[in-house]
Structure 1
């Protein structure tokens, strides 16, 4: 499938722009069945204070792209080519020590499943405070107070008491909020949210998205929102990148792409969304093929 764009042309190779700039990113995995081209020539820019929604089916390369930005891949089985610039700093090929100084500090990620991302052996407060101590050198007492402040900021009731709870004592929505608190405790300039509303009820979804929007206004962060839900993107993102088979097949502002999609895959995504009016009698329209 050839790459098609709408609204904003593909960035020129070598050109840079935005707080995060990705150019011709290619990520390959060596497996027993051969080489998997998870990301194949992806380019995009993201400014501070804006939210980029990345949509596409499972396996399209959304999460791999953003894990690569953070340097969270196994160099023994992964080949990364292209350019990733964060505020002008080259991340491709950067050493682990350099990346550790950035992770949780200038860039952070809200992982898809907070139950598995949080360790069951440590309290929620200790896990939230850990990156703050690491990057600021704060004392245990100061880091604990900061963790309480962040739990309160993300809407956890009785934060001073709940800071000593373990993850299994939090509900799904509260664990998600705790992950957001952990990601934001050092005021990162880039926040990557990987399916932050998965498995949450509609009310909690809305609260989480409102929270991300409020925190973005407060900190001026650039946000990447990875999701399957076009409704979430329509309400929470400024720009939209549609991925298929490791490539960007369409990009532009949310309004441009959703109101006048140019690529057949984007049409398929929009047609496959259920509507309230046809929820009972109208069958879903799946995207054909593999």
Structure 2
């Protein structure tokens, strides 16, 4: 309180006066974010206090011919008042609407309760959305495939959190890697699983992965998830342009469904 009174009487030094003028106003800028419209009353009181203190300081030092200090304090007072006014205007004006939607982005995971429904091409977006949703108990898949590395990563994540997987419609290619990650794996009456070997051939792209290495990783992943090795060999023996749709009996005998 002593400093407030000293400033009000214009008895602070030049540097302290300038610091109080500018510093207090800038402090109010941040306070307004938390206080809201009640800050308007504070702005009026502070502005009066700043003006009186600055004028009284100027009246005191002008007697000594210190015009540079007078101009300096008046300049600081101007900055402070403009800042106060802008803060007040910012509080009074309605906040502009903020649209956080990303153009072209469409969610692939929808969560209701402890069940997540995954649709669309398999990619790392699905993994990100599943992790953001938090641990779920059941994942329902509907996908024709996508990126095999992403499929394995999602499958490993589901195995880690102990989620079950289920297919009511179709789950082909890379989607089967996600399906294999389920603790319990089930198929609806109309559900279909489709498997085939991999193809990493595109004349317009530089190949940065080895097909054999990727297939070996996924062979090991399928087997580690309790799927029969003979079944897995048939999966990768299927031509990339073909699609093997095992019967429910074959899936059950091979440990794909459990």
With structure 2 as the length reference, what TM-score do the two structures score? 0.26
Task: Report which of the two has the higher share of strand.
Answer: 1
Structure with bigger RCO (C-alpha 8 Å, 6+ apart): 1
Task: Report which of the two has the higher share of helix.
Answer: 2
